[in-house]
Chain A
Amino acid sequence: MEIIEITEQNFEKEVLNSDIPVLVDFWATWCGPCRMQAPIIDELAGEVSGVKFAKLNVDENGSLAQQYRVMSIPTLIVFKEGKVVASAVGLQSKGAVKEMIGV
């Protein structure tokens, strides 16, 4: 599946109102670990179905980062029916991300 770019405009539609669980990768261009997280998420997006994979640039969408109290990146948050069901701070291995999304 393709990775969806989340913005303040599409957050409600793509994340909160999604029919399937959504994993959101909070990242920024200046964050080294985020650059290592991205290929892991890309890989999973190609392998796992039934979960939406998304990324959110905290520089451009500061209010969402603030709303979800993101204080360190990379942060991964899994949303299910509009609610946060799992979150992890810092670079996560492929296995750890799989566990978060329950596959």
Chain B
Amino acid sequence: MYDVAIIGSGPAGLSAALYTSRANLKTLVIGKDRGALEKADRIENYFGMAEPISGCELVENTRTQARNLGVELIEDEIFHISWENGFQLEGKEGAYEANAVLLATGTGRQTVKLKGIQELEGKGVSYCAICDAFFYRGRQVAILGNGEYALHEMSQLLPVVQSAVLLTNGEPLKVQAPEGVQVIETSLASVDGQEYVEGVTFTDGTSLAVDGVFIAMGSAGAAELARKAGAMINGRHIQVNEGMETNIPGLYAAGDCIGGLLQISTAVGEGAKAAMSMIKFVRTVQKSS
């Protein structure tokens, strides 16, 4: 059990980790890649950059700094967060437990924009297989996705539904689909239904009848993780107060995933603020146990 688990190893997550680790909290940082800075060639506007350095170098430097301070850094992709006497994180490589969790996953880039998706949300369009599988017992469903996250969502659905199809919406399939699951790689034109989802139409004019469409494109972004845990979100952004606290005690968010300026400086500042709140929270938990 960690005191603090941080999802995201970008500026927000690592900044928070520097503080929590220095406060002697057992800190885990989980990242799946280098985040937004991977593609930033030159950082010129951040404090202390006498000579510009690349985004990758900046992240690598901070990772080393964090490790030197005792932070545990691991590579994994988190699919799900639940809470019951602390938090449980479910990832591709393993499961983790912590008293406090910080969401610092950056901006979820892959929002699927398709005719019908927004209108039919909660009426057959779902963003959470584990939450909604119950309502699709014996029905036909489609999972929209092409990676590990889609497989995770599918594994929640397969035991209860009659059939499941994987739709990659024109993207290449990055994983091996489970045996017996049909994969359709054609791009989608729309999700159809008058009042409730009745099917999907592809750009080649063909269609497929389904009762539900589960969205799991790319990896689980902050909004998906937050939504599944029960944190308030506002569009794609997680709602927090000044202390970076969400509506769930012990769950925090910082950086690009809460919106705002979307710069390294703000992400680092918010990470620090979140760390202060987490330190206070964990100390209270420790005292009462």
A residues engaging B (CB < 8 A)?
28, 30-37, 58-59, 65, 69-73, 75, 89-91, 93
CB distance from A70 to the nearest CB of B (A): 7
B170 close to A (CB within 8 Å): no
B-chain residues with CB within 8 Å of residue A90 when the two chains form the complex: 121-122, 227
Decide: B122 and A75 in contact? CB cutoff 8 A. yes
- Provide the bound-state CA to CA distance between A13 and B187, in Å: 49
B-chain residues with CB within 8 Å of residue A59 when the two chains form the complex: 134
A-chain residues with CB within 8 Å of residue B228 when the two chains form the complex: 32-33
> Which 7 A-B pairs have CB atoms at the shortest separation, nearest pair first?
A89-B122, A33-B230, A36-B230, A32-B230, A71-B135, A72-B122, A72-B132
CB contact between B124 and one of A30, A31, A36, A71 (< 8 Å): that residue: A71
Could you pull out 8 A-B pairs where Cβ atoms are within 8 angstroms? A28-B134, A34-B230, A71-B136, A71-B212, A72-B122, A72-B132, A72-B135, A90-B227
B-chain residues with CB within 8 Å of residue A91 when the two chains form the complex: 227, 230, 232
- Provide the bound-state CA to CA distance between A69 and B229, in Å: 23
Decide: A71 and B122 in contact? CB cutoff 8 A. yes
CB distance from A67 to the nearest CB of B (A): 13
Given contacts A71-B122, A71-B124, A89-B122, contact A32 B229 (CB under 8 A): yes
Name which of B196, B230, B247 has the most chain A CB atoms within 10 A of its CB: B230
- Provide the bound-state CA to CA distance between A36 and B83, in Å: 11
- Provide the bound-state CA to CA distance between A28 and B130, in Å: 12
Name which of B131, B196, B227, B228 has the most chain A CB atoms within 10 A of its CB: B131
